[in-house]
Amino acid sequence: MSQAVSLQSSLIKTSLFSSMVAGVLALLLFMGISLYQTMQVQDQLMNEIADMLLISDVTASSEQQVDKLSDEFDIQYQLKDQQQVLTESKDFHLEQQPSKLKNNVSEGYDFIWQEQQLWRMYKAEDAELNMSVLVLQPLGERFKDLAQNVMGYALVLVLLWLTQWLILHFAVKRQFKVIHQLSKNIAEKNADDLTPIQQQVPELQELQPMVWQLNQLLQRLNQSLVAEQRFTADASHELRSPLSAIQMRLQVLKRKYPDLNQDLVSIQNDVSRGTQVLENLLLLARLDPANTHQLPKAEIDLGLVVNDVIQALQPFATEKNIQIQTQLSPNLPILANEKLIFSCMRNLMDNAIRYVGQNGQVFINVQQRHQKLTMTIEDDGQGVTEEVLQRLGERFYRALGTKTQGSGLGLSICQKIIELHAAEMHFSQSNYGGLKVELQFPLNVQR
């Protein structure tokens, strides 16, 4: 099964990633433009310094201005005639370079490598005065301010991204409230409420097709359930009436033809079994574990229900000389539907009486264990194999070799009833030799 992907996280990541890509591109563009402008401004400054040095009437004030610019922008210069150096900055280092750099460099801008760094060089000449000026500046000095500006811009971008992440997180989460509410509305739907789903305001256009399709599905499902309920009611009436009529006719025939009594009793048992199967099927169809919160419940004493069931089944136990031993703790109430619990207990005890055999024993125990009300029903019959234990509770399943009549629906009905009460049912081998059924009811069942 593939891993689920969060649409909310994907939207936030996609939006933030797009913003980061745009920010990085803007940063690169800013760096390119700033680099170009810095080079232009600094080259212009070197040009102005060279022009000031080539003026024939260099004054002390102009020379002082040149020195000030030189110190401020880390610019070095050298002014000379053909052979003699007329003036130069105090930190001028070009004389340490090969002679071809001093005398044969071309006029204009160029780059040179010295002192383990790249320098920008500008050379200007005055043919009339027979003088030349050489101006140098390390490129690293030019990029200091640029680097600071870029770092400042990058810091602003990071702060903007963090702000955008927070805004996206809350904005997208708020928009997804509509989807969460829609999911809640869908989860609340059940067989008793198949009304159309309504979107919360504001309605999202993207969800409207899905909501429309869901409402169409609910409508079709409602039509199917109505048809099923009608069929169940009709089938119940149409099947019960003939079976009841057959039972009445058999009673008449038994009195009219005593010599056929044995055959008629056999037929009557088959009809009774068919009636029981019908009632079990109808009950099984009505039980829906999803409706546990809508099931009417009341506080009942499980021990009293067990006593009522034993009293109802006592004639069958007496007929087979079966002893029913009980150990019931008093005053252990649970929140449950009494009719369904009675039906569940009757099915379980009826099974025990049916399968325990002649002169057998059935043991019933009800007590509290670890915040749960536990009930066990055991018998000293032949028991079942592990393979059969795994399949108990399946519809229409009956163990091979079973001679006792049954429909295979009793334990399925019990399983459904147990699920409706948020309880558990387990099957195991009894220490008495037969089958052990253990029911565990939570003491804090909610209405």
Out of 81-85, 203-207, 277-281, least confident range: 277-281
For 344, the token pair is: 């569940």
Predicted local distance difference test score (pLDDT) of residue 280: 59
So what's the pLDDT on residue 377?
Answer: 92
Lowest mean pLDDT among 28-37, 39-48, 70-79, 387-396: 387-396
The predicted pLDDT at position 206 comes to 76
Reported as a pLDDT band with limits 50, 70 and 90, residue 181 is: confident
Return the number of other C-beta atoms located less than 10 Å from residue 300's C-beta: 16
Structural domains in the chain, sorted by start: 7-160 (3.30.450), 208-286 (1.10.287), 293-442 (3.30.565.10)
User: How far apart are alpha carbons 57 and 90 in whole angstroms?
Assistant: 21
Cα separation, 268 vs 274, whole angstroms:
10
Among 225-234, 302-311, 331-340, 378-387, which stretch is predicted with the lowest mean pLDDT?
225-234
Q: Which two tokens stand for residue 316?
A: 């069958």
H-state helical runs in 331-393? 338-355, 386-391
- Give the distance between the most distant pair of CA atoms in the chain: 155
Compare 48 and 446 and report the one with higher pLDDT.
48
The confidence band for 381, taking pLDDT boundaries of 50, 70 and 90, is confident
User: CA angle 18-22-23, nearest 5°?
Assistant: 115
pLDDT top residue among 20 and 75: 20
The confidence score (pLDDT) of residue 105 equals 55
Q: Does the structure show a pLDDT above 90 at 363?
A: yes
How many other β-carbons are positioned within 10 Å of the β-carbon of residue 407?
A: 18
Distance CA 368, CA 7 (A): 47
Neighbours of 248 (CB within 10 A): 10
**Which contiguous run of DSSP H or E holds residue 258?**
none
Report CA 27 to chain centroid distance, whole Å.
Answer: 38
Quote the pLDDT of residue 407: 44
Backbone region of residue 316 per phi and psi (left: phi > 0; alpha: psi in -120 to 50; beta: other values): alpha
β-sheet bridge partners, residue 369: 372
Reply yes or no on whether the pLDDT at 401 is more than 50.
no
pLDDT of 54-68, one tens digit each? 775 555 556 677 777
What mean pLDDT comes out for the span 357-375? Answer: 88
- Among 234-248, 288-302, 322-336, the range scoring the smallest mean pLDDT is 288-302
Residue pLDDT, tens place only, 416-446: 888 888 888 888 888 888 888 899 998 754 4
Reply yes or no on whether the pLDDT at 384 is more than 80: no
Give the count of alpha carbons within 13 A of 140, CB side only: 6
What are the backbone angles phi and psi of residue 213, rounded to the nearest 5°?
Answer: -65, -40
pTM of this structure: 0.46
> How big is the chain by its Cα radius of gyration, in Å?
49
Q: Is the model more confident about 337 or about 280? A: 337
Report residue 81 as tokens: 């005639």
Q: What is the mean pLDDT of residues 352-369?
A: 88
Residue 293 pLDDT grade (very low, low, confident, very high; cuts 50, 70, 90): low
